[in-house]
Amino acid sequence: MLSGEISTLLSGRYIEIDVFPFSLKEYHAATNTSHEELYRNYIASSSFPYAFNLTIGTDLHQYLQGIYSTVILKDIMQRNSIQRSDLLERVIHYLADNIGNSTSLKGISDALSSRGRKNSPHTIESCVNGLLNSYMFYAVSRYDIHGKEHLRVGNKYYIVDIGLRNYPLGIRPNDFGHILENIVFLELLRRGNHVFIGKVANKRWILCALMVEISPTIK
């Protein structure tokens, strides 16, 4: 069941609790990995709990393939009436390759159209909404932008698990900055923040966090 279907089925009589893959701290506790190897293994593996029973290699690859092919591709296509699996996969690849970059629906449409078959922003929006509703990706908007400006400026997108990014793209040795930003974003969500993006002196993008509920465990 996707996020938007819960409220429709239960007519508001529910409490939604977001559950995330393991954080770096939880990964360390579960694997007892040395500090020298901790972060390297964390971004090379997967933070889904069942992945800890698997070795990095064939077993992990098959597990992520099952999630990717069945849960993501099949379910999203059926629930959103998406006819072309190749287009959905190209959107996934594009968003995964651009985590941490400011991205608009028109920009995605233009980039994919330049590589072959033309796609409208409306079709791209259907694919992106399906990925957001499935919790594979999270969209973060700029805090000082309103209305139609969102269509021009776009959002940043982050993926729920680096392992799901590695599955279609492989490990990118020169992309550690965006991977770290993705990890920081998820940690901010775990701590109960609303997260936005902003700019410092109109140059450098930053993540902005608004604490919703202050937890006594957070210093």
Domain ranges of the chain: 64-211
pLDDT digits (tens, 9 = 90+) for 16-45: 778 899 999 999 888 877 887 899 889 989
Q: Which residues of the chain have pLDDT under 50?
A: 1, 150-151, 212-219
Q: Judge contact between 136 and 186, C-beta under 8 A.
A: no
Give me the pLDDT at residue 56, please. 78
Give me the pLDDT at residue 219, please. 37
* Tokens 């690849």 sit on residue: 93
Task: Give the contacts of 164 (CB within 8 A, at least 6 positions apart).
Answer: 46, 64, 67, 68, 72, 96, 136
The crossing angle, in degrees rounded to 10, of helices 24-31 and 35-44 is: 110
**Helical H segments across 11-120, by residue range:** 24-31, 35-44, 58-66, 75-80, 85-97, 105-113
H helix or E strand, kind and range, residue 201: none
* Closest to 51 (Cα-Cα) out of 212, 166, 181: 166
Give me the pLDDT at residue 214, please. 39
* CATH code at 64-211: 1.10.10.10
- Dist CA 25 CA 177 (whole Å): 19
pTM of the model as a whole: 0.83
